[in-house]
Amino acid sequence: MSTVIGFVAEVGDIGRFTDPKQIQKLAGLEIVKKSSGKKKGQPRISKRGRRKLRRTMYESARALMNWNPAFQDVFLYYRNRKKNPLGGMQAKIAVACKAIRIFYVVLQTGCDFDEEKFRKDIIRPEAA
C-alpha cells in the first residue's frame, strides 16, 4: 500500500503522461550508454529523475519479487535467459520498469491486475 501511495505522491496526476516510459524517465530509470571517443561504456540508468520515486520503485520491485510469484518469474527470466542475461541489479531495475508499466495501465484504465495475462507476456527460457 505504501508503494502505491509513494508512486502516486511522486508522479501526481497520471493523466498528464501519454506513455509509461515518461514515468520511467521521471524516475531516472531510463537506460543510457556512457561512452565518449574511443571508450565504450556500459549501459546504466541515468539517475536524472526523482530520487524518491526511483527508490520507491526499486523497493517495490524487491517486494514484488519476494511476494508475487509472477514477478519472481520475470526476474528469473531476465537473469537466466540464454540471449543477453542480465545481472542481479539490472534484472531488478527491469522488474521495477515493468512495475511502472503495470501501475500506469491500472491507474489509467482502472482495470485490475491480471496475473495470467502478465504471465503470458513472459517468454519462458525452455520455450525459447
Looking at 37-98, which runs of residues are DSSP E strands?
43-45
**24 Cβ neighbours under 8 A, 6+ residues apart:** 30, 97, 100
How many angstroms separate the CA atoms of 2 and 90, rounded?
Answer: 24
Task: Yes or no: say if 83 and 41 are a contact pair by the CB < 8 Å rule.
Answer: no
How many angstroms separate the CA atoms of 22 and 104, rounded?
Answer: 10
The predicted pLDDT at position 128 comes to: 47
How many angstroms separate the CA atoms of 128 and 122, rounded?
Answer: 11
> Tell me: the pLDDT tens digits for 55-80?
888 888 888 889 988 889 889 888 88
How many angstroms separate the CA atoms of 3 and 29, rounded?
Answer: 17
Question: Cell digits for 91?
Answer: 534484472
How many angstroms separate the CA atoms of 46 and 58, rounded?
Answer: 14
The predicted pLDDT at position 123 comes to: 60
pLDDT tens by residue, the chain, 128 residues:
577 788 888 888 888 889 888 888 888 888 787 777 778 877 778 888 888 988 888 888 888 889 988 889 889 888 888 888 888 888 889 889 888 988 888 888 888 888 877 777 776 555 54
